[in-house]
Structure 1
C-alpha cells in the first residue's frame, strides 16, 4: 500500500452565530464572528504545512440560515489556495447545508469533489506523484432532515486493494445531544468494510472505534457553552501496512470553558471577586494569545449565597464586562481576553446539612433521596421523565430538552434540591419564630 496523509475535518459552520453571549461591544462581536473564518484559515495552513495529500470535510460547511456572500468567498479562496499546493478536497453536505437549501457556490475545480445526494465512490491520489492511494465514498444530505440510515448505501469496492474512506454526516448510536439524522450503529458501519469512517454532525471529538476506525473530529470552533474544550481536526497518516495514526490539532480561535467556583464558608464580596479574578488569570495563562469565554458555576454553601442571588453576581458580571470591553479596544486586546458568559448560581444558604440528613422530617427525607438520586441514573431518569412530561408535549420544547446533556440535567437536579432546602428551611424558621408563611 502506498503511504499517504489526509486531514479529517467537519462542522465548519462558517460565519454562523455564537449563542448565549450578551453584553458584547461591537468589536468583540465582530471578533467572535470572524473566529470561524480564522479557525478555517488555520485548517488551510495546517494542510499546507503538513503537506497532506487531501482533506475530507464531513458536512455543515456553513449554516443555510446564516449563509453569507462572505462565507462563500472565504471558502472559495481557501479551496483555491489548497489547489495551488496540490491538496485535494472532498466535501459532503449535512443537515445545516443540505443540497436543497441556499448553496455555497463552489467553482468547478479538478482538486475539489462535492458528493451528491446518491452514494458514489471516487479515487484520491497522492499529491507528490499522482499515485492512487484511497477510495473515498460519500453521500450528501438532499434535504435538512434525513431520517433514513444512509450508511447502508456504503459498499466497499471489492475489486480495489486501496485504502477505503467513508464520508458520512450522521448520529451514530443515538447521541441524545444531537438530532437523530442519518441514524446508524457502529455495527452498520463496520459491516460495510471501510477502513476509516470520517464522520460529521457530533461536535464532540471522539474515536468511537479503532481497526475499522470510526471517528468524529468535532467542530473546528466552539460557538456556545455546550461546546467547551479544544476544537480542531485530525491529521491521519496511513503507512505501507495500512496502519492508521491519528493526531489531533487545535484550530479554535475562541475557547469555551465551564468552571466551578466553590464558595463554602466564604463571607465577603471581596473574597469572591478575588476568586473570580484568580480563575480568569489561570484561564488567560493557559491560552495567553487567544480569547476565552467562560461560564462560572457557583457551588457550595455560604452566607454569601443570598447576596449573590439578590444581584451581587450581576453587578460583578457588569463590572468585569466593562473591563473586558475596555481591554478589547486596546491594540492586541483580544490576546488573552477572558469574557464571562454568565454566573450560574448553584450555591445554597449555609445550613448544617449533616444534621438535617439525620432528621426524621420531610426535609431530611428529601435530602436523603437527593443523595441517593445523585449517582443513580435510573432514579434521575424517572425524576426527569415525570417532571418534564408536561413540557415534552410541545414539539419545540421537546427538541430543546433532547439537546440537554447529562451534566446540565444533573445541575438542574442540584438546583431544584437547593431551592427546596432553602424554601423548606425558611418555612421551618418562620414556624419556630411564630410567623406565618405567605399565602401565595
Structure 2
C-alpha cells in the first residue's frame, strides 16, 4: 500500500510582518502573504492527492484581531474537506488554548488533538496511527515527549510535537527533548513544529522540522514551505521539500572595501538586487542590504544614509515593481592612515593613470638609456633599458610620490597652531 501526506507547521496566519509597516503599497502584499501561503499549501495537497495533512502547531500567531482570521482558516480546511483530505493538527505556543479567546467550528475533516494529554487517532484503511498533544499554555518547560505512548503495532506511526528539541538559535526553549527521547516511542515519523528553518533532524527514525510556511521578517530568509512524504508498504520512500511561500525575504552583503566612488557602489548594488530578484522566482521580495568592508566611502555612507537608502530603493524599482528594500545596514569601517587619505583625495587613481601613460614610460626608458651610456661596463648589468624595467621603475616612482605627498599632508595636518 502506498500513500502520501504533507507535514506543515508554523503557519502563523495573519502574522504582522515586522519591518514593513510603513513601506507603502507593496507592504500590503507581504501582510497578505501568510494567507496566500496557506492557500498554496491547500492547493499542493489537492494537486498531490495526499491522504491527509498534519500541522504541527502554530496555525495562528496569537489571539485573532477579529473572526476574519478564523474564517479564513475554516474556508481553506473546507476546500480540503470537499476533496476528502483529512487534517490533523496540534496547538503550539502561539496558538495555545490560553491565548485564543475566539473560536469557530472546524469542518469534520479536521481533527485537533487534546491539550491535556497525548491522544492517538487512527486511519484504519491506511493503517496509520497519529499521536499528538496540543498545548494549553504558551510556556511549556517540561519534556512532553516522554509522555507519548509506544508505537501501535502493525501501523505506520506518526508523532506530532511542537518543540525546540535541545535548542535552536533564535527560538525560545519550548517542550525541550532529545532525539533519543523521540526514538524511545518507536515511531516511523516525527512531525515537529516550532523551529522556522527546515531541517531533517534524523533519518532513523525520520524526524523533520518543515520550517514555517511563510517568512515573516528579514531573519527568516529563503524558500519556505512544507514537506511531502511518500510511504510505501509501511516505509518512507521519499521526502520532498515543497516551496509554498507567497513572498520572500532575503539578506545580501555588498563589500565596499575597494570602492572610492558612490557610483561604483550603486553599480554593484544594481547587480546584487537583480540577482536577488531572480532567486525569488517571481515572488515579491523584501531585501535587506548590508554594506561591509573597510572603505573610503564610510564617511559618505554615514552622512548620506537617507540618500543611500533612497538610491537603493530606486535601483530596486528598476529591477522590478515587486522588490522592496526592507533596510540598508551600514557595517562599513573607515580606512585608516595614508590609505584612507590617499583614497579620499583620489591620489591612487590619479597616479595610476600617470604610471600607465606611454609618454611617461618612454621618458623613464630614455632616462635609463642615458644612465646606461654613462655607466661603467662592469656596472651595466645592473641596468636594462627594456620596457619591463621601465615599468618597474615607473611603479617605484609612483609609490615614492604617493608617500611624499601624503607625508607632506600629514605634516600640515599635525602642524602646531602657533606655527601657522
Q: Same-fold call, TM > 0.5?
A: yes
The residue number in structure 2 matching 1:433 is: 414
* Aligned residues of 2:200 and 2:208 also touching (Cα < 8 A): yes
From 35, 52, 58, the counterpart of 2:56:
58
The residue number in structure 2 matching 1:315 is: 307
The residue number in structure 2 matching 1:403 is: none
* Cα deviation, residue 77, structure 1: 0.4
Aligned residues: 346
What is the 5 A alignment of 1:295-374? Answer: 295-311=288-304, 313-321=305-313, 337-351=322-336
Structure 1: gaps (5+ residues): 126-130, 355-428
**Cα distance in structure 1, aligned partners of 2:214 and 2:295:** 37
* Cα deviation, residue 104, structure 1: 5.7
The residue number in structure 1 matching 2:244 is: 251
The residue number in structure 2 matching 1:235 is: 228
SS in 2 for 1:243: strand
Structure 2: gaps (5+ residues): 340-409
Residues 165-210 of structure 1 show CA distances to partners (whole Å, capped at 9, x for unaligned) of 0000001112242111101111111111111110000001000000
**Cα distance in structure 1, aligned partners of 2:38 and 2:92:** 18
The residue number in structure 2 matching 1:8 is: 7
Residues 31 and 154 of structure 1, relative CA distance in 2, 3 Å threshold: same
* Cα deviation, residue 262, structure 1: 0.9
Residues 353-403 of structure 1 show CA distances to partners (whole Å, capped at 9, x for unaligned) of 99xxxxxxxxxxxxxxxxxxxxxxxxxxxxxxxxxxxxxxxxxxxxxxxxx
* Aligned residues of 1:15 and 1:67 also touching (Cα < 8 A): no
* Cα deviation, residue 22, structure 1: 5.2
* Aligned residues of 2:64 and 2:100 also touching (Cα < 8 A): no
SS in 2 for 1:298: strand
**Cα distance in structure 1, aligned partners of 2:222 and 2:102:** 29
SS in 2 for 1:274: helix
* Aligned residues of 2:270 and 2:315 also touching (Cα < 8 A): no
Residues 278-319 of structure 1 show CA distances to partners (whole Å, capped at 9, x for unaligned) of 2111122223521111111111122111110122x3212124
The residue number in structure 2 matching 1:114 is: 112
Q: Which is worse superposed, 65-74 or 261-270?
A: 65-74
SS in 2 for 1:345: strand
Query: Which protein has the larger Cα radius of gyration, Structure 1 or Structure 2?
Result: 2
Residues 15-36 of structure 1 show CA distances to partners (whole Å, capped at 9, x for unaligned) of 11111235411x2232111110
**Cα distance in structure 1, aligned partners of 2:180 and 2:299:** 52
From 131, 134, 157, the counterpart of 1:137:
131
* Cα deviation, residue 320, structure 1: 4.2
Residues 105-127 of structure 1 show CA distances to partners (whole Å, capped at 9, x for unaligned) of 342533110011111000135xx
* Aligned residues of 2:151 and 2:187 also touching (Cα < 8 A): no
* Cα deviation, residue 350, structure 1: 1.9
* Aligned residues of 2:156 and 2:234 also touching (Cα < 8 A): no
Q: Which is worse superposed, 205-214 or 284-293?
A: 284-293
Residues 235 and 103 of structure 1, relative CA distance in 2, 3 Å threshold: farther
**Cα distance in structure 1, aligned partners of 2:249 and 2:290:** 14
* Aligned residues of 2:223 and 2:248 also touching (Cα < 8 A): yes
TM-score normalised to the size of structure 1? 0.74
* Aligned residues of 2:257 and 2:295 also touching (Cα < 8 A): yes
**Cα distance in structure 1, aligned partners of 2:220 and 2:33:** 14
